[in-house]
Amino acid sequence: MPRLKPRPIGSSHEALARFFEAIGIKRAADFEDKSPSTIYNELNPDLPGEISFARVARLTEHFRDLTAADFLARKGGAIVVPLPVVAAAEDDATALVASAKASADAIALGWSARADGVITPGEKAALKENIRRAVASFVSLDLWLDGENGE
């Protein structure tokens, strides 16, 4: 299979190319009952036509890939954090401790990563994952406080 030609970084074409590469062009084509070459042509910024929002939403839901959602969120000044599975905590103190620990872990990793003055790509990826985990723990706590934990 050919690789998609490079797109301008930060463009919608680049986001769609990353989205389809993340879910797999053949998998997407099979799901949509299209040929992979049709998908490649639809993603070619030099050819006319666009992919519908409804179609991207359907693919996002089916493959659970947040690449396109993250692109749109950033255009609107936000980020996407996957909703956590809200586990029933023994009490509010347990939920608060879990959120505090996740936050402290992310902060500690950030300080450790920048200790030598340079954050490597690996450290950056780990730090981003820890920050998302901390945000998710606060979302989980918020949902738990709203009674969204199934109780």
Digit-coded pLDDT (tens) for 64-106? 999 999 999 999 998 887 776 655 555 667 778 878 888 899 8
Q: Cβ distance 139 to 83 under 8 Å?
A: yes
Q: Tell me the residue length of the chain.
A: 151
Convert 77-111 to b/e letters by CB count within 10 Å (16 or more is b): eeeebeebebeebeeeeebeebbeebbeebeebbe
| Separation CA 91–CA 95 (nearest Å) | 7
| Domain locations in the chain as residue ranges | 12-75, 92-145
Please give the model's pTM, rounded to 2 decimal places: 0.61
The set of residues, in sequence order, having a beta carbon less than 8 Å from that of 128 and lying 6+ positions away, is none
